[in-house]
Amino acid sequence: MRLSSVAALGCLAVPEALAWGGFGHITIAYIASNFVQPQTTDYFQTLLRNDTGDYLANVATWADSVRYMKWAHFTGVFHFIDAKDDPPYNCTVELDRDCKEEGCVVTAIGNYTSQILDPTIPAWLRAQAAKFVVHFVSDIHQPLHDEDVAKGGNGIHVLWEGAELNLHHVWDSSIAEKWVGGVEKRPYAEAKEWAANITGKIQHGEFKAQSKAWLDVLPEGPTAIEGQELSGDYYEKAAPVIELQVARAGFRLAAWLDLIVAALKLEDEL
């Protein structure tokens, strides 16, 4: 699978920190589980040693867990790409310009996909690579993980129900959790329910008319919301956009995993 294909995946997403929060990542994994082909399910259940329907959801946040361990510190930069553009007037990602020398989410998806496809790599390392791919394909769909402005929104201070937060956290967790009525500390049940709801919407074509809708949330640029309360009108505009991005991430993750398994099958037949 060529890296150019990975770059194209990144371009399909709308634009340093964790992405989506655990709830979003787990939801995206469940959506992907709902759309992958049966042979893809079989392959990754075997690779990840989990024959339940939670085989992707259970590894969805693993990359966030290990990034703070000494052996995995180098993976921190793989969770994002800092697009040096000028939203909302110019929203572009250029790999040569925006990807750090040590890597970014686009190159990480390419690298770990290549590892899954390499039969000479031990199974435990290919399983580790699969966990990274599941997470990073999710990350690239969080708009603020593809943006350099104020460190992906971490430097934009806002209010959420009276509490001081940054914009990145609000997009990662606060909006999605409010959208579904709140979540537990281990949000697997809520994530599975939201994923089922989104899966139905995808199957009925309810997201087709929402291309580039995220731009409507920041029509005057990101700094216009500095210090503002976002749990009211802003939330009402942003929540459907976040659901759209979660839907895209889950559907595209399924397609990506299907391509991996198809490539492996083709190699076996040659």
- Of 251, 234, 144, 135, residue with least CA distance to 200: 251
188: left (phi over 0), alpha (psi -120 to 50) or beta: alpha
From 85, 135, 141, 252, the catalytic residue: 135
From 85, 98, 139, 146, the catalytic residue: 139
166: left (phi over 0), alpha (psi -120 to 50) or beta: beta
Nearest-angstrom CA–CA distance, 51 and 29: 15
- 258 catalytically annotated: no
Q: Which long-range contacts (CB under 8 A, 24 or more apart) does 223-228 make?
A: 223/150, 223/156, 225/156, 225/158, 225/167, 226/156, 226/157, 226/158, 227/157, 227/158, 227/159, 228/158, 228/159
- Of 31, 37, 60, residue with least CA distance to 250: 31
From 25, 169, 248, 252, the catalytic residue: 25
For residue 24, what are the contacts with CB-CB under 8 A and spacing of at least 6? 138, 142, 172, 173, 176, 246
From 141, 160, 168, 171, the catalytic residue: 168
Nearest-angstrom CA–CA distance, 168 and 133: 22
Nearest-angstrom CA–CA distance, 99 and 258: 26
- 79 catalytically annotated: yes
From 82, 98, 145, 248, the catalytic residue: 145
From 20, 171, 214, 256, the catalytic residue: 20
From 85, 160, 172, 248, the catalytic residue: 172
For residue 264, what are the contacts with CB-CB under 8 A and spacing of at least 6? 43, 116, 117
- 145 catalytically annotated: yes
From 62, 67, 126, 148, the catalytic residue: 67
Length of the chain: 270
- 139 catalytically annotated: yes
- 148 catalytically annotated: no
Nearest-angstrom CA–CA distance, 103 and 5: 17
- 51 catalytically annotated: no
- 204 catalytically annotated: no
From 64, 82, 98, 146, the catalytic residue: 64
From 79, 169, 248, 252, the catalytic residue: 79
Which residues are tagged catalytic? 20, 25, 64, 67, 79, 135, 139, 145, 168, 172
